[in-house]
Amino acid sequence: MRLLNYTTQYFALLLLGVITIWAVAFYYAMLDEIYDSLDDGLENQKILLLKRAQEDPSILAHNDFDKHVYSFTPITAPSFEQQQERYQDTLMYMLNEEDYEPVRIYESAIQANGGYYKLKIITSMVEEDDLIEDLVSYLIGLYAFLVLCILILNNLLLKRIWKPFHYLIDQLKDFKLDRKTSLTTAPTKIEEFTLLNTTVTALIASAQRSYEEQKQFIENASHELQTPLAIVINKLELFIEQQPLSDEQLVQMASVLDNLGRLTRLNKSLLLLSKIENEQFQEEAEVDFKQLLHQSLSDFEAIAAHKNSALILLEETEMSYRMNRDLAVILVNNLIKNALVHGTPGAPIHLRLKQHALSITNQGTPTPLKVEDIFARFKKSGTNEKSTGLGLPIAQAIAVKYQLQLTYSYTEGHRFTLTFPI
């Protein structure tokens, strides 16, 4: 939910409560005031009637409400003593409304013209249901109006106020640390936003710096390792050539050389990965993928034969794409290598080169792999100790660099598909 609507929603809820409470209080206060003024009027009428009775005692004979709004009923002296002034609400049939309507009756005892009378004065009363109805409809109107006002105010005002914030988050949304994009901020007079802008800018600058340093560090470290590795391997090569060694010693030496070879390959892979990420492959050419695929297949023929697997090209077409040639070779080779290393020995590996896609399918573990682990560095599936765990990450880095999509799926086998943009 958007911030604007979020606050409006709370305002609307709060207003609903406030207006309801206010309406109840207002209703009773008003009703109280109305009764008060009605009662005053009734008392005033009583005084007026008493005065009239002195001048015209005949009115004392009016004892029903058909013709007048008052009635006199003769009472005895003890009743007069007991009679207290009181107000009573009741219903009376009104001709104009053709319905029973509430009336207020004022009862009082008077002494006039030497006799005791009970005096009742009636007055038409406010119709409570009508009052409530009116009040509710007016309040609903007020409520709607207020919410509308808040909405308009929010949209006009808050939108303007939060502009620097939205500007910032719009940029953060598209921000990628590995892309060398910089962030701009909108000027603002609001202190909090200024703080947010400067903090985010500083944070990103420092993150970018660390990222660059880290990338550079890996490249430099791998680079520095090359020479000592070369020296050690060469010394061992010279050593095993000169000495007459026993078979046991040769096996040990071979194992040392193997591991050093593995270290060299790992180092080379890291260096390659850094170089791809550090944009050190600028050269581009139209790469003929059909020809490249045939070259790779012939290179891997011996390895496939050794594993009793066949590399079968099921489908091919003329296809070329503009990218760095060396990286294209590495990309295709890594995918084939991956299929060979992880494929079940003896099972065929199927390749398809279509107009916009290259797919490689191998048999292997009967369950799909975790997609999030496949392209992660050093995540090795299985126990293949010779694998560097960098083959697929390198393939992925190359694919990303040239807007290709490298995806994994599992249907009749593990399939890696390289999709070329159309």
Partner 1 sequence: MKILIIEDEPQMLDNMRRTLEQEQYLVESAATYTEALDKIGAYAYDCILLDVMLPDGNGLKILKELKAQQKEEGVIIVSANDSLDDRIEGLNLGADDYLPKPFHMAELRARVQAVLRRRNFEGNRNIQLGNVNINPETRQVFIAEEDINLNRKEYDILTYLIANKTRLVTKAALAEHVWGDHIDQADSFDFIYSQIKNLRKKLEPASINVQAVYGVGYKLEVD
Chain residues in the site for partner 1 (CB under 8 A): 223, 226-227, 229-231, 233-235, 237-238, 240-241, 247, 250-251, 253-255, 257-258, 261, 264-265, 268-269, 271, 275, 280-281, 283, 298-300, 302-303, 305-307, 326, 329-330, 333-334, 337, 340-341, 384, 386-388, 391
Residue 70, Ramachandran bin (φ over 0: left; ψ between -120 and 50: alpha; else beta): beta
Instruction: Give the nearer residue to partner 1 in terms of CB position, either 90 or 278.
Output: 278
Residues 6+ apart with CB under 8 A from 273: 218, 377, 390, 393, 394, 397
CB of 218 to partner 1, least distance (A): 15
Hey, what are 378's tokens?
């050093």
CB of 347 to partner 1, least distance (A): 15
Instruction: Give the nearer residue to partner 1 in terms of CB position, either 28 or 217.
Output: 217
CB of 174 to partner 1, least distance (A): 32
> DSSP state, 60?
G
- Exposed (0-12), middle (13-18) or buried (19+): which is 50, by Cβ within 10 Å? middle
CB of 306 to partner 1, least distance (A): 3
CB of 268 to partner 1, least distance (A): 7
CB of 386 to partner 1, least distance (A): 4
Instruction: Give the nearer residue to partner 1 in terms of CB position, either 108 or 387.
Output: 387
Instruction: Give the nearer residue to partner 1 in terms of CB position, either 44 or 234.
Output: 234
- Exposed (0-12), middle (13-18) or buried (19+): which is 143, by Cβ within 10 Å? middle
Beta strands (DSSP E) in 153-282 are none
Instruction: Give the nearer residue to partner 1 in terms of CB position, either 154 or 333.
Output: 333
CB of 392 to partner 1, least distance (A): 11
Q: In which element (H, E) is residue 390 found? A: none
CB of 346 to partner 1, least distance (A): 15
For the sheet with 414-419, list strands across it.
311-315, 349-353, 357-362, 414-419, 405-410
Instruction: Give the nearer residue to partner 1 in terms of CB position, either 62 or 223.
Output: 223
Cα–Cα distance measured from residue 104 to residue 125, given in angstroms and rounded to the nearest whole number: 6
Helix (H, G, I), strand (E, B) or coil at 261: helix
Q: Across-strand partners of 116?
A: 75, 111
Beta strand 414-419 with 405-410 is: antiparallel
Helices (H), 243-355: 247-277, 289-306, 325-342
Hey, what are 373's tokens?
């682990």
Instruction: Give the nearer residue to partner 1 in terms of CB position, either 8 or 387.
Output: 387
CB of 348 to partner 1, least distance (A): 17
Instruction: Give the nearer residue to partner 1 in terms of CB position, either 116 or 281.
Output: 281
Tell me how crowded residue 319 is: count the other CB atoms within 10 A of its CB: 19
Instruction: Give the nearer residue to partner 1 in terms of CB position, either 146 or 233.
Output: 233
